[in-house]
Structures are given as C-alpha cells and as structure tokens.
C-alpha cells in the first residue's frame, strides 16, 4: 500500500485530497503538512512513498521544498500540485526532480494514476505536458528566455511581479537584500523585455483571481518591479509601471 504525505497550506485542500485518497484500496497511511518544514519533519520520522506537494506554499516556494526533498529523500516520489496551467510551471518542476505535475482540477483517476507511477519511481506525464515536451524538443532556436532562469531568479521575479519589495522578499527567503537584487538583475538580463512584461501580466491575473482583494492588485503588481529598481537594482534598466489593460494589449484581465 502506498503511503502518502499531502503538503498544502490550505486545510480544505488537504482534507479534500485525503477524502479522495482514503477511498482507494491502494492507499495506505495518509499524512498532512501545512508547510515545507513540517513536511520535512514528517519525512524524517516516518516512511513516505509519495509526496503531494503544492507548488505555492504561502511564504515558501514549493520548488524549494522539492529541492530539499530530493536532496534528503531521493527515492521518495514527489508530485507537484497547482492551480496554475501546465505551461507555466510543469517543465520547470519536472526538470527540478518532480515525478509529475498535476493541475488541482484533475480527475481523481488521474491523481491515482500519477501516485501509482510516482510510487514506482517513474514520471507521470499528462497529454498537456507531453505536448509541452514535444514543443521544447522541436524548438529550433534554443531555450525560451524564461527557461534560462535559475529557480531562484524565477522565484524572485514572480514575487516582484506580485508587488513585494526587495526587503520583504529578502526576509521571506532568508537572504540579503543585495542577493535578492542580484537575482532580479540577472533574471531580467536573461529575459527579453516583452517576455518579462508577459510574466508580470500572467502573475497579475493569478493574483486577481486568487487574492480577491479589490483594486490593490494592479498597484502591487506594477510597484514590485519599480520598487526593486529604486531600492536594489541600480544597474538594471527600469521597467515602466504597467498601464491599465487596453483592448488589444498583451495583458487583458
């Protein structure tokens, strides 16, 4: 029987997954954790076959937790769960060592198939991810700009796009402000300007959809990169604040 650890910062998600998995005879012990440190403590004290890991764990990035699990428990299967589309994180998660990437809207049968595959040490690939892999292989002109980013650069740019300041990000990731600024500068140098703006637009849509806090999203989104430029990125080209969406603009929200 497969022993599963569910790692998600939302209790309702953990309980829902637990209820679904408990109905399947192939599942044995079920455990829950609300954050990365709690998940690692449980992995150190009891045998786990598969970890279901949310890619966005409040103050800690799921890919960071994945790296820790891979380092300490290389034989444990890890499936990344997310509300974000496969095109945004799937290939990055699999390259970082995940055994699969599932959208939280997937069917229970898909979830169980992925768990069984991960428990065997394999990688579960959905048709959407297979298509992304095929596109990646067929690409003639090298990697897309965002694929050249390190996980840390990608994470810092996401947080800046959310509207967080260099100081807040440094505190959240337990790094110095200078280090965060360096990651931001390096990341933006890897990106073409239109693509960088596209990442910010994608994140603004996610913030608006998930945060639901009125009209603050645009200000938070546009202010993050701008404040980084003012505080810690003196060598980077400043990015203009995002303008309200236009009818034919890149970012329609």
* Cα distance between residue 157 and residue 196, in whole Å: 9
Q: Using the predicted structure, report yes or no on whether residue 57 has a pLDDT greater than 70.
A: yes
More confident residue, 42 or 189: 42
Angle at 17 between CA 15 and CA 18, to 5 degrees: 60
Helices and strands (DSSP H and E) totals, the chain: 11, 7
Instruction: Check residue 109 and give its pLDDT.
Output: 94
> Could you tell me the pLDDT band of residue 222, with boundaries at 50, 70 and 90?
very low
Rounded CA-CA distance 252/101 in Å is 27
Q: Which helix (H) or strand (E) holds 64?
A: helix 62-72
**What pLDDT score was predicted for residue 127?**
80
Structural domain spans, the chain: 2-136, 145-231
What is the percent of the chain with per-residue pLDDT over 90, rounded to a whole number? 37
Choose between 248 and 106: higher pLDDT: 106
| Residue 162, both tokens | 């959310």
- For the segment 164-188, the average pLDDT, to the nearest whole number, is 81
pLDDT for the residue 162: 75
- Provide the pLDDT for residue 219: 43
Range 145-231 classified under CATH 1.10.1060: no
Q: Output the pLDDT for position 193.
A: 46
pLDDT of residue 240: 40
Q: Assess contact for 81 and 55: CB atoms under 8 A.
A: yes
User: Which class would CATH give 2-136?
Assistant: alpha beta
pLDDT at 178 over 60: yes
Average pLDDT of span 124-149? 69
Condensed to tens digits (0 to 9), the pLDDT of residues 82-133 reads: 887 777 778 888 888 999 999 998 999 999 999 999 999 998 888 888 877 7
Query: Structure tokens of 139?
Result: 């690409």
The pLDDT of 55-81, averaged and rounded, is: 89
244, pLDDT greater than 60? no
Residue 160 has pLDDT above 90, yes or no: no
- Which residues, listed in sequence order, are joined to residue 7 by a DSSP beta bridge? 33, 53
In a 10 Å sphere around its CB, with 0-12 CB exposed, 13-18 middle and 19+ buried, how is residue 16 labelled? middle
Q: Which helix (H) or strand (E) holds 28?
A: strand 27-33
- Give the residue among 114, 139, 116 at the shortest CA–CA distance from 124: 114
């Amino acid at each position: 029987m497969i022993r599963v650890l569910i790692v998600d910062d939302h209790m309702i998600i953990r309980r829902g997954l637990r209820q679904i998995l408990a109905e399947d005879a192939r599942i044995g012990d079920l455990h829950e954790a609300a954050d990365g440190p709690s998940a690692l403590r449980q992995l150190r004290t009891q045998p786990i076959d598969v970890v279901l890991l949310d890619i966005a764990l409040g103050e800690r990035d799921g890919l960071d937790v994945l790296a820790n699990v891979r380092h300490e428990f290389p034989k444990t299967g890890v499936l990344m769960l997310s509300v974000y589309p496969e095109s945004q994180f799937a290939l990055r998660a699999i390259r970082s060592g995940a055994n699969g990437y599932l959208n939280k809207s997937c069917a229970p049968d898909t979830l169980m198939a992925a768990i069984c595959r991960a428990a065997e040490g394999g990688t579960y690939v959905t048709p959407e991810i297979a298509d992304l892999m095929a596109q990646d292989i067929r690409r003639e002109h090298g990697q897309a700009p965002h694929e050249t980013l390190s996980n840390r650069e990608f994470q810092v740019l996401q947080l800046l796009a959310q509207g967080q300041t260099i100081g807040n990000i440094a505190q959240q990731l337990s790094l110095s402000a200078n280090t965060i600024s360096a990651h931001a500068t390096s990341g933006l140098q890897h990106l073409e300007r239109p693509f960088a703006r596209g990442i910010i637009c994608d994140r603004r849509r996610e913030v608006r959809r998930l945060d639901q806090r009125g009209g603050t999203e645009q200000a938070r989104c546009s202010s993050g990169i701008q404040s980084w430029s003012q505080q810690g990125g003196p060598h980077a080209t400043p990015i203009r604040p995002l303008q309200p969406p236009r009818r034919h603009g890149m970012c329609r929200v």
